[in-house]
Structure 1
């Protein structure tokens, strides 16, 4: 007769292998999202200021103003939109770049946006942006993590298992979130 611990180890091992990829995805994204107040995990935004010099008065009310500014800063990306927040400035939205030009001083601020490889994709999945079938996959993964946590309690017998040292470590694992809940809630 096959012992139940053998089957538990087999299931724990195989489900653990399957869960590895998802665990890495959720972990990378979790670290990134935990620090969202310090940085944008999906995009790297770089700001630069340049002077394009005096903008000729004939250009200010011209249909060619945006082209003139884009040419001066060397921007060749696809123009998406423009906006005049006031009479002294224009915002130009280009694919991957937001340009704000002061029409009086000739100062131009550029905010270039570049997607962060790996982080953007993992955040997309972790925050369940796809919905639909991904919700089902994420729920199965959550159930697999519960199984791995509980089955892990019974992997080892004796004083190093759940009846010995494992009990203390399990209690600590439960106590940590409870303490933080009591402190911050």
Structure 2
């Protein structure tokens, strides 16, 4: 491939995907830390509650969860509920409920999605067909950008053959070591 063709392809794909690269990088950073804070939403109201839960966990059914939601005057549609680690949790579109199984003490948290941030984070979660195909094209384009970038320097001490392959190998080692030691 000609040097000018490689540079042009590298440049044009870089320009096309610049905004998407920034969006993915930004939302990826937020997603990495979502267990420490909830960038996608913020709390509007938190209210303490006390509920007499059934003594047998098996009695906490879909019907029980729906009736409890009505009793707690939660207008949202229930998305899921579970019992785990001594807690009964119900998740709604804009509300979360968590109740301790032994004491019955709990909390209702109402929240709203954070503008812009929640939409950006949606990119990482979206599973619609068109987005999957677009993301595949984006991934292939990132590979092309990386390879054409490595091919652009043909002479001198900073070429891929002299130095670039070592740095590329170092870059590949990080995810491999992470997978081995995690």
Q: TM-score, normalised by structure 1?
A: 0.64
- The alpha carbon displacement at 1:47 in A equals 4.1
RMSD: 3.2
Residue matched to 2:141:
144
- The alpha carbon displacement at 1:9 in A equals 0.5
Name the SS for the 2:74 alignment partner: strand
1:91 to 72, 83, 87: 72
Count of residues in correspondence between the two structures: 143
- Supply the distance in 2 between the matched residues of 1:159 and 1:98 (Cα, whole angstroms): 58
Structure 1: unaligned runs, 5 residues or longer: 51-81, 101-108
Residue matched to 1:41:
39
- Supply the distance in 2 between the matched residues of 1:49 and 1:175 (Cα, whole angstroms): 48
Kindly provide the CA deviation profile for residues 35-66 of structure 1, in whole angstroms up to 9, marking residues without a partner as x.
1211223211244459xxxxxxxxxxxxxxxx
Q: TM-score, normalised by structure 2?
A: 0.65
Contact 1:45/1:113 (<8 A) preserved: yes
Residue matched to 1:7:
5
- The alpha carbon displacement at 1:20 in A equals 0.9
Pair 1:98–1:83, CA change in 2 (3 A): farther
- Supply the distance in 2 between the matched residues of 1:128 and 1:98 (Cα, whole angstroms): 22
Contact 1:25/1:126 (<8 A) preserved: no
Residue matched to 1:156:
153
- The alpha carbon displacement at 1:126 in A equals 2.1
